[in-house]
Structure 1
């Protein structure tokens, strides 16, 4: 059958084909998404340095977009600051602080717009900020965490003689776990720093400081406690951005870790269970009473949830369109017409 022959033709050199397809990916993909060949330490280091330089450019673009966004917000809110009620310290500082509090949806309530213009401006700004934080800043935070994964793995194996290629392979294998651990560590440090700052600078009681930190990073923002001094608001501009995004990434990695664990359990269960006659019947795509290696692989991948019947149907539909002579195989004579069109 066409599907059987087409799938079997991919099997003999499957490992090499997968590696070739990975290396054709552009260099701006995540380091944890690339399967590296065996390399010596120097070539791995050169590759890593090149990759990080490439990623730094993307991160600078994200930082530039954020700076422009906050700059526009600061300018607009400083012009209507007389239309915003609450405790004020310095015009520019309060405008930046209000921009960050609005963007992250913390909304303490210590500064509140009270005119139509200020309210409309805040509405527009918060929607734009949610989009920026949800799409661009989360990617930037993800990049920062990924960049530190290698340092974390080095620290875990510092008493062992582990080369860079082995470290990169370790990161590749357990990337979700290391992302989760790094996000947890960063979140813990940010909470400690925030609590200490509120205790020392804002003169909060220790419990109140911790309470304010928790209500801030979760964007709960009751408003009973907030940053009220000039120094506090300057600190809050940076701390709120980092902590709220870090918490969001932490829960994202937690969900990924849970999903990955369930997927691995499913794979183990599928590979360990006994194959029955009904399984063979279902795996027999061409109904010839025998199950080839290709048919068994396709059936098992479906059982693991790696692919769906819809995926297979779409691929086979494309194969049939390319198989001009209906031979069940693809040759150069089949693909030349599609290239010319």
Structure 2
């Protein structure tokens, strides 16, 4: 038991040190480390576990090249197929190539105005395949791209809302309210796209204001009744880009709104859990190793479980895995355990 207690204390000490260091890094994110870190670097000592952060926000990782290639391949392949099958598609037609790519966009976004419709078994089967693959593409790849763009732009939104604050304060604000600002940004972009769509339909497609608003709403919600749509050559060229951006932006806004609601519920639950009085029943439940003493690690795990961050099954699985790795049953993992 002595070795187990020593290992537990060592683990807790290491965990405490790491927590303090991580907290310090969070506060210093967005600027080079100073103070003791500078002195250590001057003495030639570097801490590899604490990388220098030079950006105001963590860099979002996303590669646009494969996204553009997948989108280009999808739209290009669909456009070619529907262009070759143009005789099997009925409706209001303008330019063959433009009509084909326009039909691809309204199909993949599930808008489906009905101004262009497949009129043969071959065209109908092709449309069925295309709409399912398009929904997957929009839902997975394009939403990630939109999320990346929002993350890159949110710091500018915070700067606008909170002028006069330094980079560190802005960074802390963004970190603590990241979902809120993502929702605000996507909602703002969506509102701009709605206005642009209404103006375009009013002046270019010659719809009155109510019909223009009606067409925009039925489009962005992918309702697509079809009684009002883009029927001119320039209108369909505009629609190819506008429909993609507006439908994706609306979907992202709803996703962030749901995430914001969930986050608020989690914070409320965490506050309730931490403010609740710790009873003898809690003491017994938190004692994972049955030694009638609750260590800081056991207390943290118990509270995290109450907050819904982890489950009891997760803890038991991890502890069981640890016991299997601990070959000599010393309560710690060593090189000898891993080589056994």
Which TM-score tier does this pair reach, normalised by the shorter chain? 0.7 to 0.9
CA distance, structure 1, for counterparts of residue 133 and residue 175 of structure 2: 34
Structure 2 matches for 1:107-186, cutoff 5 A? 107-158=112-163, 160-163=164-167, 165-186=168-189
Do the aligned partners of residues 242 and 211 (structure 1) sit closer, same or farther apart at CA in structure 2, a change above 3 Å counting?
A: same
2:88 is the alignment partner of 1:87: no
Structure 1 residue 51, shift from structure 2 partner: 4.0
Q: Which has the higher contact order (CA 8 A, sep 6+)?
A: 1
> SS at the partner of 1:326?
coil
Gaps of 5+ in 1: 23-33
Structure 1 residue 36, shift from structure 2 partner: 7.1
> SS at the partner of 2:117?
strand
TM-score (norm 1): 0.86
Instruction: Tell me the equivalent position of 1:104.
Output: 109
> SS at the partner of 2:90?
strand
Instruction: Tell me the equivalent position of 2:14.
Output: 13
Quick check: 2:108–2:135 contact (8 Å CA) kept in 1?
yes
Instruction: Tell me the equivalent position of 1:29.
Output: none
Instruction: Tell me the equivalent position of 1:261.
Output: 264
TM-score (norm 2): 0.87
Deviates most, 7-16 or 97-106: 7-16
Quick check: 1:35–1:172 contact (8 Å CA) kept in 2?
no
1:126-162 residue CA offsets vs partner (Å, 9 max, x unmatched): 111011001000100111111111111111222x141
Quick check: 1:81–1:95 contact (8 Å CA) kept in 2?
yes
CA distance, structure 1, for counterparts of residue 32 and residue 334 of structure 2: 41
Structure 1 residue 46, shift from structure 2 partner: 4.8
For residue 291 of structure 2, the aligned residue among 285, 288, 292 is 288
Instruction: Tell me the equivalent position of 2:31.
Output: 40
Structure 1 residue 294, shift from structure 2 partner: 2.0
Aligned residues: 321
2:326 is the alignment partner of 1:323: yes
Quick check: 2:29–2:57 contact (8 Å CA) kept in 1?
no
CA distance, structure 1, for counterparts of residue 130 and residue 91 of structure 2: 19
> SS at the partner of 1:10?
helix
1:196-239 residue CA offsets vs partner (Å, 9 max, x unmatched): 11111111110111111111000000111111111110000000
CA distance, structure 1, for counterparts of residue 139 and residue 240 of structure 2: 18
Q: What do you get for the CA RMSD once the two structures are aligned? A: 2.7
CA distance, structure 2, for counterparts of residue 262 and residue 203 of structure 1: 47
